[in-house]
Chain A
Amino acid sequence: MSKKLFLLVGVIASAALIAACAPAPTAVPPAAPTTAPAATVAPTAAPKAATAAPTAAPAAVAGACGTLRILYWQAVTVLNSHHSQGTKDYDGARLVLEPLAATNPRGEVVPALAVEVPTIANGGVAKDLTSVTWKLKPGVKWSDGTDFTADDVVFTWKYGSDPATATTDAGTLDNVKTVEAVDKNTVKVTWKAPNANPYEAFVTGLGNILQKKQFEPFMGAKSKDGLAQIPVGTGPFKFKEFKPNDVVTYDMNPNYRDFAKGKPCFSAVTFKGGGDAASAAKAVFQTGEVDYAWNLQVEASVLVPMANAADSKGVLGAAVSPNLERLLVNRTNPDPTLGDKRAEPDQPHPFLSDLNVRKALAMVINTTEMARQLYGPAGDGTCLVLNTPLNIVSKNITCPKGDDAAVAAANKLLDDAGWKKGTDGIREKVVGGKTVKMSIIYQTTVNALRQKEQEFVKDAWTKLGVKTELKSVAAGVFFSTDEANPDTAGKFFTDIEMFTNGQESLDPTNYLRGWTCGEIKTKAAKWSGNNYERFCSKEYDDLYAQMTKETDPAKRSEFAIKMNDILVNDVVVIPLVARKSVTGWSKALKGIDLNGAWDSEMWNIADWTNK
């Protein structure tokens, strides 16, 4: 019995968008929002030998670009990124708060508040990997005019590592033993154990530095009161006005370190939130009401013509991301008659524990076609678990094509394994005196795109003689950790489930831990851990243990690839689509280096211009 409470008010607006109007060819001048004249500011500092700034015209003047209008279909609710509820909050904060180093779309760590990225070669990373020393840029000021120092970094660690503060990115500080200010501009991070990833703490938006002076009174349990604080930052902009669940406005920060070099070019930013992705796409491509629209998760057949139309006011950008849409294959028996034993690790699945069955199910799905039809620019079909960065992408695997030959091969595989079609056309086999029928319950979240993917997969499996029953659960319920709720992804009381996930940083160790035996979700562990499939393999666990000890980056990558190969060859998951971040921006906007994976899309907003 599943209790269904009709709480969610479905916003069906997008459904009505099919009327893909033919835009009247009225002569509309290209969006020229606010024309800020080339300001006459005394050239205080002649541009120095440009330090890796790809855009800036020589005589750039900060604030010359006018107002930048950004639209997210989820609104910012928290300004202090350490209490972020999601990407939107990290991105909204990133205009103001900065980490010591950022990660660019190529997966390279680049300095932000630090002078350089510490490595073993430059002596920043200790040879035994127990500590990292960061040199901070001298002369950096907070937007209130006070000095940014090593004390602020130390404070950020103290703030974030206090469990009572309950920050959402506390995980990045887990391995930190202590953070010390060596001098005003030098910080030393010491790890609890040798750490092969020196960029775990204070890098990317997860490691934004807070001002000690401002947040010291709000440590620990008092952090709740500190959320009403408008954070002071070191970034190119400073907060002006904040309306939670609606809009954030920013002014340029005259204390920004590159202000004299003409950064940022925009004098103000509005960061509007709310609505839906489909109309956000309209706003950037058709009406030009905004200059930048985030995460345009709109069906390819609607999005692409809109972006490529002759009178489109924007361009579409897609950036590689680690996010993978995939099928999770349950290794345990979700039969409700098992009671408390349901889907426990000692209850093998009646047919999904057979490797041939899993292989056959994976072989027949044409992921390339699925991605082409349903995702377009927003994703590519894949059969790998790790699809980015390049150093961990396996070259040992040939993806099945999902064509007629594959269907025939899969059928033969099942025939040979003793799974014969019954009178109803469904494959079955007598296992332990009982007839097991290949009947799959396949669940995912309520989402128009996902329901189409379900149909696509169901069609493919029908060709195998596998019966598939589709189930969809509201996302808020599906990802709930409520122990009383039987429909969660964590309990996985179905045979197959589907959702997107991916590693959260360049280093996939954390993500790969999710398939070790110790992470198996069980009733006793209250379904914590990340091993949804309840897959357990000594070989995999050994590789994981070796990887955590290994410090040589090349060998670490090898381990990651080996683990990827196990997950694919053993069909622990069936990868479908390697997703991309799809964003639209005005044709006038330049300097965007779209970051879909490792850091905020706003990571280089100081370099954006419309000149």
Chain B
Amino acid sequence: MNRYLLRRVLIAIPTLLGISFVIFAVLNLAPNDPMAQFALNPGIPFEVRENIRRSLGLDQPWPIRYVKWIWTLVSTGDLGYSFNSRFPVAQLIMLKLPVTIWVLGSAYLISILLAIPIGIISAVKQYSIFDHFVSAFAFIGFSVPTFFTGVLLILLFSVNLHWLPFIYDSTLVVKDTDSLIKLLKQSAMPIMVLALFQTATLARYVRASMLENLPLDYVRTARAKGIAERLVILRHVFRNSMLPVVTLIALGVPGIFGGALITEQIFRVPGIGSLVISSIETSDTPVIMAVNIVYALLVVAFNLIADMVYAFLDPRIKYT
């Protein structure tokens, strides 16, 4: 087991290096320019612009900048400075992360808690009214884009009903019931939008996986042994059906840290997603790199965790 872990970790290193190189290359070969926003201002002469470019270290060719970047990262853990705000990138990410984890994490948790029972019930009662209803709902959920549901919710709950605010206030500090209610109110719509989408996808997965296992021999055996139907479903079918679902859930976790690009933008949630969008708009390479590399790290890590969980769910799987 330990040797397996070690091997996986060692494989991860070149993977991450490769990912970082490709992203860096793409960002720098792209025809975007961090100085673009200054290009039009006659008050910012060419010399001043070039001066700023130099002060950002952009006068060097990108392969050299890549080597410098990766070396600083590996030797000191420093992710560099944002071109745009000149804030240390690590600090910038730490500032955005709590909001993103709160909104996306809650949405994810809610969708898991909803999707599993919904998936199980609609599989066990296949073609029932409930199943049909859930299927229809799921198709709507994952085919309607978040920018549409987001705006729809704003029109309904903010503009017409005046129940919920649609501008997320990140300066809110939760210290009493009132501020807690405020937090819940301002988070309600983004969480709803994200949870709708994720619940729909996950519920379909759970249902499909359950349906695959239900007609198998071991289920019949369990029933023949006289085990109560509830236990057959939960202890036997469900546990076996969870294998692919666990992969899906585990691989979705890094997504929480990656932020929700569109939803965050619509509701002005100042999370990682909106940071990435504004950084792409201004070609803020250090920030885009940092978010991507952290994301890549998490994907690799959660892949590993998913594999570990397999061994727990299915004792036949052994890692050596």
Contact = CB atoms under 8 A, between A and B. Distances in A.
Interface in A1-50: 3, 5, 7-9, 11-13, 15-17, 19, 21, 23-24, 26, 28
A504 interface: yes
B110 to A, nearest CB: 23
Contacts of B161: 24, 26
A276 B150 CA distance: 13
A290 B169 CA distance: 11
A524 interface: no
A5 B37 contact: no
B1 interface: no
B44 interface: yes
A163 interface: yes
Given A9-B277, A168-B44, A479 B39 contact: yes
A221 B86 CA distance: 13
Q: Which has the most chain B C-beta neighbours within 10 Å: A15, A244, A480, A489?
A: A244
A170 B147 CA distance: 41
Given A21-B155, A24-B161, A164-B55, A476 B86 contact: no
A195 to B, nearest CB: 16
Interface string A273-289: 01110010011001101
Nearest to B26: A5
B2 interface: no
Contacts of B87: 227-228, 244
Contacts of B54: 166
Interface stretch (A245-253, A352-360, A537-545, A559-567): A245-253
Contacts of A501: 40, 42
B270 A247 contact: yes
Interface in B271-320: 274-275, 277-278, 280-283
Interface in B25-64: 26-27, 29-33, 35-46, 48-49, 51-52, 54-55
B270 A5 contact: no
Interface string B244-268: 0000000000000000011001111
6 contacts: A9-B261, A19-B152, A170-B51, A244-B95, A245-B96, A247-B169
Contacts of A480: 31-33, 35-36, 39
Interface residues of A, number: 87
By Cβ-Cβ distance, the 10 closest A-B pairs, closest first, are A480-B33, A246-B270, A528-B46, A485-B31, A77-B85, A479-B36, A166-B55, A244-B85, A227-B86, A479-B39
B291 to A, nearest CB: 12
B167 interface: yes
A111 interface: no
A168 B52 contact: yes
Given A24-B160, A228-B87, A8 B281 contact: yes
Nearest to B49: A481
A479 B40 contact: yes
B266 A13 contact: yes
Given A19-B155, A276-B265, 5 more contacts: A7-B27, A9-B277, A83-B86, A488-B31, A501-B40
A279 B154 contact: yes
A130 to B, nearest CB: 22
A247 B171 contact: yes
A490 B162 CA distance: 48
Nearest to A484: B31
Given A166-B52, A272-B268, A5 B281 contact: no
A270 interface: yes
B171 A241 contact: yes
A213 interface: no
Interface string B153-171: 0110011111001110111
Interface string A215-256: 000000100100110000000000001011111010000000
B182 to A, nearest CB: 13
A245 B85 contact: yes
A477 B35 CA distance: 10
Interface in A494-537: 499-501, 503-505, 510-511, 513-514, 528-530
A224 B159 contact: no
B86 A279 contact: no
A102 to B, nearest CB: 17
Contacts of B32: 7, 474, 476-477, 480, 482
Nearest to A172: B43
Contacts of A78: 84-86
B87 to A, nearest CB: 5
Interface residues of B, number: 67
B33 A246 contact: no
A24 B163 CA distance: 13
A528 B45 CA distance: 9
Contact of A482 (B33, B41, B148, B160): B33
A93 interface: no
A9 B55 CA distance: 28
Contacts of A75: 270, 278
Nearest to B31: A485
A169 B167 contact: no
A58 interface: no
B66 interface: no
A77 to B, nearest CB: 4
B21 interface: no
A7 B282 CA distance: 12
A481 B35 contact: yes
B290 to A, nearest CB: 14
A206 interface: yes
A409 to B, nearest CB: 34
Contacts of B169: 247, 270, 272
A11 B37 contact: no
A512 to B, nearest CB: 9
Contacts of B160: 21, 23-24, 26
B97 to A, nearest CB: 12
Contacts of A282: 154, 158-159, 166
Given A21-B160, A247-B170, A480-B31, A9 B40 contact: no
A515 to B, nearest CB: 11
A167 B47 CA distance: 11
Contacts of B81: 224
Contact of B166 (A246, A247, A289): A289
Nearest to A480: B33
Nearest to A167: B48
